[in-house]
Structure 1
């Protein structure tokens, strides 16, 4: 680990975004402890083990819609087909009687198909001759458009007994919890919550509610990061704002390292005169101070803190101090590492990109990856296109509030003309 960080630190001036992702994947080890939780408490948690289906899903052949069930072999006998109706079968009430050959049953969606019946014709395609309560009404329908097995859900077609329903590393959302409930499972084994210690640094920071003073700014980073961590499902230990004093920073780092899996800081990782964090982290852990070829978010501190017993300690992620750089460094670099530390599969932690054309030309300097805050809208031709949200300063958080997506401009790209297709990363669910 020390050799890896030392080598990375030596090459930091040339680091590209994908190289940083590789480094963070190597450092972010999933928490080992697990717990069993009822489904109602498992939202957002990460599965610690594969969930195997204890049953076939569905557990029996059943009707995919309301209609009339019959043996598909009769489709080849007449056009239109007319079949006597032997009765009605409802969902949850299996048919127990005999079904004479060549007869149909009126059936509801989800109802179990009796043996010998494998096809369902929807009500709206049928004509009923005689009343439904008559002794033997007849259903008539065109047979040309149907095939044997139509509108039938087969036993086990979704999941067979013993099949993997949810793999380990899955983050549990509404669909996953619904699937688990549909298997009859009341509890799931998940990894414990990731514990993250958070603080911001800077003598210039004021807390919301304090009176303004000349030369000071309000601490937005800590509140934004705390919200982002809570949205991920982490347990957040907020240590507040720490002054740019070596003793205060040392105390905060040592306190944070006692119980945290991850220490997340903002500010104090650049090359300014008051940035004591670098010196302290070199004493208290194995840390590389990266200069990343990206905009916004160039500086980043990455490493592990030391423990008194010599074991590897908390993962340290030191983010830059400008508000937009802080949040985008979190979303693009720290968030995938945190999800991996939570136990999530690294590939599933990577958001998908979509391609959209630019509404306007963009200036771009080759040699760095740029993330442009943008809105997505539909133009007069009905095509979705991207337009930057104005000033892209890393200090202007309002430009991120206005954005729908980040445009990912490749490391090697230069200026881009209007209508150029670019990769876009939707912000919904990311921040």
Structure 2
């Protein structure tokens, strides 16, 4: 009796196709909230921020020095009598021909003045302490507009300074404050339930290293995933470690789906007898198990349980870390309405050889060296988390492409993937 032929194995899914499918499943959150601009770092704008004023509001000095009328210094003496003193927060009077105003950084330029001369380019001749009007000699010929920040040169009234969908950082918050925004309308935080699966997992602090039972490992994934989620602006429900049995997995998923937007798990997305995620999710909702053509990080799962998205990451720590950065991060940003999700890379010289080209697209852990090139970590295994600590980024290697020493490669810094 002949056995039935096995079904042909599905080809590995390219990373770009996997990301496109993942993002296509996202409906951005609609709920918004008002937060203090002080507390808005990392949040995503729900509405355009439009300026109701111009910045700067008035012409002001960018230097400590003297406000002058430039034409006065093109004819006759370069000695000018100082008739007023203007500090930031005060207002000067009209500058008379042949005179100067002592002015400080940020102070309004008085009417009649069209240039500022740095104090280093002026020599005092007399001062008021000796009973004479203060007089200076200007040792340079200023150009009109010199050292003046003109009204509206940064922001014009009616400008959209920050668009909806922008992720806010320190510079964006400063810009919002510069036009008087004490509060901002942002998308509410995604609610994400996180748990790990595996009877082998032990939490640091519960068992001393010397007392670890055979086969046990500390749960490192829980720590970096929890903090990656927080960096993405998520409100995280940490559900800990779920044991390797079907009933416990179903119960954890069912509870998490009730009040979270996303369920994120680590481990258990393969098809072994102790991998209960697949049947548990399928019993409650829908699941796509993807074998993605990347290294590290081939196994990846996405599905739905009720209204909640389910995302399953591989258990190996570097695989879990890399697939989060490449797939989960853009998914969570799109969920919050971020529009620009492009992964930006830079052309950099490889100061290493990588002759063993893989069929999959590889992400090699590297770091910049003092000579402007990239060094390669000596162990690229998916279980070696030290590679992600030692490295400051990854090289994006196309499928089947070896790397020769001195070749230009595409480098993606972790700073680009963690912001």
Deviation string 1:180-211 (CA, Å, 9 cap, x unpaired) is 22222211111111110011112322222235
Deviation at 1:136, TM superposition (A): 4.9
What's the CA shift string for 1:138-187, capped at 9, x where partnerless? 432221xx321111111111001121122212222222222222222211
Question: For the residues of structure 1 that align with 2:149 and 2:361, how far apart are their CA atoms?
Answer: 49
Q: Is the 8 A contact 2:79 2:135 kept in 1?
A: no
What pairs up with 1:246-395 in 2 under 5 angstroms? 246-305=246-305, 307=306, 313-345=307-339, 347=340, 349-378=341-370, 383-395=371-383
What are the superposed Cα offsets for residues 281-312 of structure 1, whole Å, 9 maximum, x if unpaired? 2332232111111000001101222x2xxxxx
Equivalent residue for 2:88, pick from 83, 86, 91 = 91
What's the TM-score, normalizing by structure 2? 0.91
Query: CA separation in 2, counterparts of 1:289 and 1:198?
Result: 19
Shift, 1:351, TM fit: 4.5
Contact 1:34 1:191 survives alignment (8 Å): yes
Deviates more, 1:317-326 or 1:238-247: 238-247
Aligned to 1:5: none
Post-superposition CA distance 1:37-88 (Å, at most 9, x none): 122222221111111112110010111111111223335435x743332221
Matched length: 405
Please give the root-mean-square deviation of Cα atoms over the aligned residues, in Å: 2.1
User: Contact 2:94/2:111 (CA < 8 Å) preserved in 1?
Assistant: no
Which ranges in structure 1 are unaligned for 5 or more consecutive residues?
1-9, 308-312
Aligned match of 1:163: 159
Q: Secondary structure at the match of 2:415?
A: coil
- The separation in 1 between residues aligned to 2:309 and 2:73, in whole angstroms, is 66
Taking a change above 3 Å as real, the CA distance of residues 429 and 360 of structure 1, as seen in their structure-2 partners, is closer
* Partner residue in 1 for 2:107: 111
Larger CA deviation: 113-122 vs 126-135: 126-135
Partner Cα separation in structure 2 for residue 201 and residue 317 of structure 1: 13
d(CA) in 2 for partners of 1:352 and 1:125? 45
| Match of residue 126 from structure 1 | 122
For 1:74 and 1:15, locate their aligned partners in 2 and report how far apart those are by CA, in whole Å. 73
Alignment partners' CA distance in 1, 2:128 and 2:336: 58
Q: How far 1:98 moved relative to its partner?
A: 4.1
| Residue matched to 2:202 | 206
Other structure's SS at 2:11 match: helix
